[in-house]
């Protein structure tokens, strides 16, 4: 079976050094979705938001540097991305 990594819609990163959180690069919507169960239904502290912004920026930059080095015809760019932080509430729903 042949793999076409340039056609993947999402890439998921779990930097284990930062606790349980997950960063998903959504290539179609050009956004990073951050899943972090440490926040409750009232959201995150401003420090936690800054933390996720820094990690998201680093992951996105490293990802595009890597794929543009390995794949000369990579279709996407690292410009124009947004970030969405999600949390899990008491009912185990992702918001």
Q: What digits encode the pLDDT tens for the residues 17-35?
A: 767 788 999 988 898 888 8
pTM (2 d.p.): 0.77
Q: How high does pLDDT run on average in the chain?
A: 79
Site of tokens 């970030």:
83
What is the four-CA torsion angle of 41, 42, 44, 45, rounded to 10 degrees?
-150
> Can you read off the two tokens belonging to residue 53?
């912004």
Ordered by start, the domain boundaries in the chain are 5-86
């Amino acid at each position: 079976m042949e793999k076409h990594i340039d056609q993947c819609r999402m890439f998921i990163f779990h930097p284990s050094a930062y606790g349980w959180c997950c960063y998903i690069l959504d290539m179609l919507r050009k956004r990073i979705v951050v899943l972090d169960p440490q926040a409750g239904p009232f959201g995150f502290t401003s420090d936690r938001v800054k933390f996720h912004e820094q990690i998201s920026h680093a992951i996105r930059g490293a990802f595009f540097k890597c794929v543009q080095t390995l794949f000369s015809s990579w279709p996407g760019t690292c410009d124009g991305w947004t970030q969405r932080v999600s949390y899990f509430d008491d009912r185990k729903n992702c918001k």
